[in-house]
Amino acid sequence: MPFADVSLGSSVSGQQAPILILGGSGFIGTRLATLLQEKQLPIRIGDLVQSQAYPQWWETCDVRDLDAVRWRAQGAGVIINLAAEHRDDVRPVSRYHETNVEGAARVCEAARKTGVKRIVFTSSVAVYGFQPRPVDESGPFAPFNAYGRTKLEAEGVYRAWVAEDPSRTLVIVRPAVVFGEGNRGNVYSLIQQIASGRFLMVGAGENIKSIAYVGNIAAFLIHTLSLGCGEHIFNYVDGPDMSTRDLVGHIYRCLGAPGRIRSIPKSVAMAGGHVLDVVARLSGRRFPISAIRVLKFLESTQFHAERARAIGFTPPWSLSDGLERTIRFEFPQR
């Protein structure tokens, strides 16, 4: 197994202290809980939404509510915070700060009050914004939206917490775009468009994309539980990085989809995205295409993640494996 040994101390009863997963009912959280169960590690799940996979370990918990977080953290050996406002169309915009930044402050305060000395926080490569070349964990930082800005602010809250006590441990993981079975994010939308025959390449598709498979992300989060005291920050991507055209071609092959890749100019796609943004604001409807999503598709988003491999982590699945597993799960008829 690619996991390091995990030892998080004992509870009052002498059993291993449980791992609290905030946001544990979601896409990454459910996969993480499954891997922890396979390793026979005790878990708790705190989320606003009931866990469909593990209702027996779930209790409602809002990271903005100090008392709720403190109640779930009592006796825990580690807090893994996956809870976040992450969609790019959240309204009001203040919800990003309330959940991502104020939520971080509540988690840290709950850790202080309950004596939890280890926190794992999933941030995002959105803290870097759009960069002309691949970046490592040192930046530069130039988030372009409220999600990226508040994730970077939240990192500052956690870093202040770990600096207060040399016996504390903080792990910050910045994943690239995460995909996998059951997710309905950007990679799924791309696969779905190709499978339906509606896909149009925007531009030449030469921009480079770093992405990450959910099974590997969950495995890496567990791997970091063995790290010693102090601050540890990691980018996470599954290589090798692909150009958008190569990624699309790989998906075509996995689906057995015939035909050549059709494309439209960047200017046309951006204009369409802006029009739909206006319609969305006036009507209150949500559309799968927006100006910011077109921009994300067009930009190169490439990141160095050698630090994750340097601590001895080996991903259980290759990037190609992850894509093929996802396609088999979501489109079994293809």
Peptide bond before residue 92 is cis, with ω within 30 degrees of 0: yes
Annotation marks residue 147 as catalytic: yes
In 70-200, where do the E strands start and end? 78-81, 118-122, 169-175, 177-179
Say if residues 63 and 81 touch (Cβ distance below 8 Å).
Answer: yes
CA distance 230 to 227: 9
Residues in the chain: 334
Closest CA to 158 of 80, 71, 77: 80
**What letter does residue 67 receive in the DSSP assignment?**
H
Say if residues 83 and 47 touch (Cβ distance below 8 Å).
Answer: yes
Q: What SS3 state is found at 332?
A: coil
Catalytic residue among 147, 158, 236, 252: 147
- CB-count burial class (<10 Å; 0-12, 13-18, 19+) for 22: buried
Q: According to DSSP H, which parts of 172-256 are helical?
A: 186-196, 214-223, 244-255
Say if residues 128 and 141 touch (Cβ distance below 8 Å).
Answer: yes
Angle between helices 319-330 and 244-255 (to 10 degrees): 50
CB neighbour burial string for 94-113, b if at least 16 within 10 angstroms, e if fewer: eebbebbbbbbbbbbbbbee
Residues with a catalytic annotation lie at 147
